[in-house]
Amino acid sequence: MLAETLNVKSYANANLKFTPKKLSALTSIPTTLKYTYANTAGMVANVAYDLFTASTSGSNTPEYEIMVWVGAYGGAGPISSTGNTIATPTIDGISWKLYKGPNGQMTVFSFVASNAPVTSWSGDLNNFVKYLTSSQGLPSGQYLNTVQTGTEPFVNNAGVTAKFTVTDYSVAVN
């Protein structure tokens, strides 16, 4: 398969509007997500939360991206410098594989659920932030500017239309 077919084609997502907060000032980011993906044969895609941070409040130029992959389909994989996990933390009762790599000038941390897809989940995204600030060098002085949730399709080789349906979703920044 050509490398360009493995690039993300789109990101259908819900984008939370909130006042940016320093990571050190966050108390919680509670979330619930329940979804289904139909007609996934031949599809390469993920279902993920996407958080962006920067040293300036409200910046449109993120310095760090934190992805939480609750779904990985068809061999989809995260950005990684080495292709290998850098840690395997358990957060909110789920074992995650953590990857790290660059995307332009931005550093990307990607948590991929070891038992993905997790199609029904409630947790606190701040636990991922706290893990990164305490053990992976994410600066706690960064501002959380963006929280999104959705799906990134990479390719569909089967010629069928995959259907992503969300039946329960909530997220808040506290």
- Asked if residues 97 and 84 have their Cβ atoms less than 8 Å apart, the reply is no
Amino acid present at 55:
S
Q: With H, G, I as helix, E, B as strand and everything else as coil, classify residue 3.
A: helix
In the residue annotation, 4 being an active-site residue is answered as: no
- Asked about 152 being catalytic, the answer comes back as yes
Closest CA to 147 of 18, 9, 22: 18
Place of tokens 């997220």: 171
Beta strands 64-73 and 106-113, pairing class: parallel
> Which is the catalytic residue, given 109, 142, 146, 152?
152
Tell me the residue length of the chain.
174
Q: Looking at 8, 65, 106, 119, which residue is catalytic?
A: 65
CA–CA distance from 129 to each of 42, 137, 138, 161 (Å)? 33, 11, 8, 35
By annotation, the residues acting in catalysis are 65, 152
